[in-house]
Structure 1
Amino acid sequence: MAMTLELDALRAALARPGRPSSDFDLNPETVLPAGRKLRPAGVLAPVVQRADGLHLLLTKRSSALKHHPGQIAFPGGKQDEADADVIAAALREAHEEIGLPPENVDVLGTLPAHETVTGFIVTPVIGVITRDFTITPEKDEVDEVFSVPLAHVLDAERYVIESRRWRGAKRSYYAVPYGPYYIWGATARMLRAWTDQISK
């Protein structure tokens, strides 16, 4: 399905109420422990305006990392004590991971938080890059920075549901492949939630 997105549509979607998401949404049989403590984190969805439309920057995590090596992710990470909030955390981490200066980002808003299997409560921050910058991957964390047309990852018809074994049980998850990039797991789930917001 061909789809054209404008910044005004992104702003309007973020102004509408949304529903929190989690890595367990496609696995309703999962019983989560009551009173579990989740660590706050923020990720940035950096939107780039180009002649052919809006694009989204994503990272491919280093294959040398202990957790989620080689996976596709938003730049971002856990909120530190020095961060004012999760938005500040997302902007700081994007600066560290891909060299994006915080002052080059116009934050449009946030999506409802997403709970991960690793015990984080992650807030996706949607921001438009307002000035060119030199992409500089943090060599210990990021193997590659690439872009995908935003219309591709905000199109529900592009999503598939797949599954694999995890901790001895079958776990289902969303995936939204793009060329050689297999976007899945928490990143795909947060993008799918954004898709729902756009589609309302």
Structure 2
Amino acid sequence: MTRPMTRNEQEARLRRAPDAPGAPSSDFDLNPKVVLPEGRKLRPAGVLAAFRPGASGLDLILTKRSSRLKHHPGQIAFPGGKVDPGDADEVAAALREAQEEVALDPGQVEVLGTLPPHETVTGFVVTPVIGLVHGDFTPVPEPGEVDEVFAVPYAHVTDPERYSVQWRRWRGQRRLYYTVPFGPYYIWGATARMLRALAERVQP
């Protein structure tokens, strides 16, 4: 039986992840027959993959989007969103959105770096920002955007064996996508694809 990693070992692997080799990803990785329009304009966005100390190592902070939202209601997502004019870059956008959505003070986040961008079917190019949360943090969901804030163990989201490929009909076509369910939470689509990219980068 493989010995579980300590929190320090998990942290060390996260610190190496931004510099590990890897290419940009997209919602179309598993659907090579999709023809993307020439000259399409993608809107920049940043999401925060924030890890905090948990019961048996590091835990990843995720949200369940409000069921009242127009786009992606009830889906599992990282804190984050589009880059606003006042944001210096995608990192700043991710930190600002995390503060707005779950009340995470940017001063508590040690930014370890970023992963290659991910293109979504909704026209965003998303930069995943890897961070460590220091100090006490009690999540407070923003009622208009977030129904729930929860944590997933590092060991779950960084284990490639826990990922599966499923499909559904999208715009009349069969669309394949990654999933990495955790308990009652169905983590899929862009969130699962970006986590899958992280999982690849933290392997020994």
Q: Same fold (TM over 0.5)?
A: yes
Q: Which residue of 1 aligns with 2:198?
A: 194
Unaligned stretches of 5+ in structure 2? none
Q: Which residue of 1 aligns with 2:115?
A: 111
- For 1:134 and 1:153, the matched residues in 2 are separated by 22
Matched, 1:14 2:18: yes
Matched, 1:173 2:180: no
- For 1:121 and 1:104, the matched residues in 2 are separated by 26
What does 1:157-172 align with in structure 2 at a 5 Å threshold?
157-172=161-176
Residue 73 of structure 1: which of 67, 73, 77 is its match? 77
- For 1:6 and 1:190, the matched residues in 2 are separated by 18
Q: Which residue of 2 aligns with 1:131?
A: 135
Tell which deviates more after alignment, 2-11 or 111-120: 2-11
Q: Which residue of 2 aligns with 1:24?
A: 28
In the alignment, is the contact (CA less than 8 A) between 2:10 and 2:154 conserved in 1?
no
What does 1:13-52 align with in structure 2 at a 5 Å threshold?
13-52=17-56
Q: TM-score, normalised by structure 1?
A: 0.97
- For 1:112 and 1:9, the matched residues in 2 are separated by 17
Secondary structure at 1:6's aligned position in 2?
Answer: helix
Secondary structure at 1:59's aligned position in 2?
Answer: strand
Q: Name the aligned partner's letter for residue 179 of structure 1.
A: G
In the alignment, is the contact (CA less than 8 A) between 2:46 and 2:128 conserved in 1?
yes
**Aligned residue pairs, count:** 200
Q: Which residue of 2 aligns with 1:148?
A: 152
CA shift, 1:133, in A, is 2.2
Secondary structure at 2:137's aligned position in 1?
Answer: coil
Secondary structure at 2:192's aligned position in 1?
Answer: helix
1:32-61 CA-partner distances (Å, limit 9, x unpaired): 111111000000011012341010010000
Tell which deviates more after alignment, 126-135 or 67-76: 126-135
Q: Which residue of 1 aligns with 2:97?
A: 93
Secondary structure at 2:104's aligned position in 1?
Answer: coil
- For 2:123 and 2:35, the matched residues in 1 are separated by 14
- For 1:82 and 1:70, the matched residues in 2 are separated by 28
1:51-80 CA-partner distances (Å, limit 9, x unpaired): 410100100000111110000000000000
In the alignment, is the contact (CA less than 8 A) between 2:169 and 2:175 conserved in 1?
yes
Q: Name the aligned partner's letter for residue 101 of structure 2.
A: E
1:71-112 CA-partner distances (Å, limit 9, x unpaired): 000000000010000000000000000000100100001110
Q: Name the aligned partner's letter for residue 80 of structure 2.
A: G
Secondary structure at 2:190's aligned position in 1?
Answer: helix
Q: CA RMSD in A?
A: 1.2
- Matched residues, percent identical? 67
Q: TM-score, normalised by structure 2?
A: 0.95
CA shift, 1:9, in A, is 1.1
Q: Name the aligned partner's letter for residue 24 of structure 1.
A: F
Secondary structure at 1:187's aligned position in 2?
Answer: helix
